[in-house]
Chain A
Amino acid sequence: MGLLVRLGNAAGTAGIATILLIAFGLQFGLQELPCPLCNLQRVAFVLCGFGFLLNLRFGVQPLHYGLTLLGALFGLVVSGFQALLYIAPGTAAHGVPVLGLHLYTWSLILFFAVITCVAALMIFSGRPEHHNTDHQAALRFHGVYRLAAYLLIAATLANAANSFLLCGPADCPDNPTGYWITNHLPT
């Protein structure tokens, strides 16, 4: 059961990284720049992934699941708020629908899915791995677990760069039409 839970946490980490990479793909493929709330939903996914990553590195503990749940709750608030902005009939929605749903609706569904997955992992986790030393946990942190963690860190760093190029050090426009950096490059 322990192996299954560890694989579940690796899948969670890799899954969050994949979501972030798909968001990148849509950003560049559809030429759809992320709004400030969209960026905050990406932040929420990163916060969710952090708890999964801690489980991989330090062993499965309720504290780590709690951090993931906090990230998912934050994401639910952000994506729910954005969905409510456009829920009134006749209100122009933001962005292009993907498979019939807007990205903030997909986010809402995915944050519910994260909470459901964490609940399932907690049910199957059994006793927390407090008895394991940090050294033991570090020894088991290899292969696919390490790859999933590196993938999440790479996706997070890419988002940091993307966010800075898009918005600069200050506010992002509500509906960005271009990258901030293009206005500050020497001609």
Chain B
Amino acid sequence: MTGLIFLAAAIAMMTALAGYRGVAIGLFGMSAVAAVLWLDRYMTEPLKLSF
């Protein structure tokens, strides 16, 4: 899943370089939301290392 987030961020950057700022920011937003949701998964299920 983090691989997909990185990929979306990389595509957002390449889109920005191509001059499509709106699309790039949209992709950035998608990857940011996915990252927050992915973090929430680990915050509600604490790592075993925390014990």
A interface residue numbers (CB < 8 A to B): 35-37, 39-40, 42-44, 46-47, 50, 53-54, 57-58, 63, 67, 70-71, 74, 77-78, 81, 85-86, 91-92, 94, 134, 138, 149, 152-153, 156-157, 159-161, 163-164, 167, 169-172, 174-175
Contacts and interface: CB of A to CB of B under 8 A. Distances in A.
7 contacts: A43-B2, A138-B19, A149-B13, A149-B17, A157-B10, A161-B3, A167-B3
Contacts, number: 111
A157 B10 CA distance: 6
B21 A58 contact: yes
Given A57-B16, A152-B13, A43 B5 contact: yes
Which size class do B's interface residues fall under? 20 to 34
B13 to A, nearest CB: 5
Contacts of B9: 43, 46-47, 50, 156
A37 B42 contact: yes
Given A67-B28, A174-B49, A43 B17 contact: no
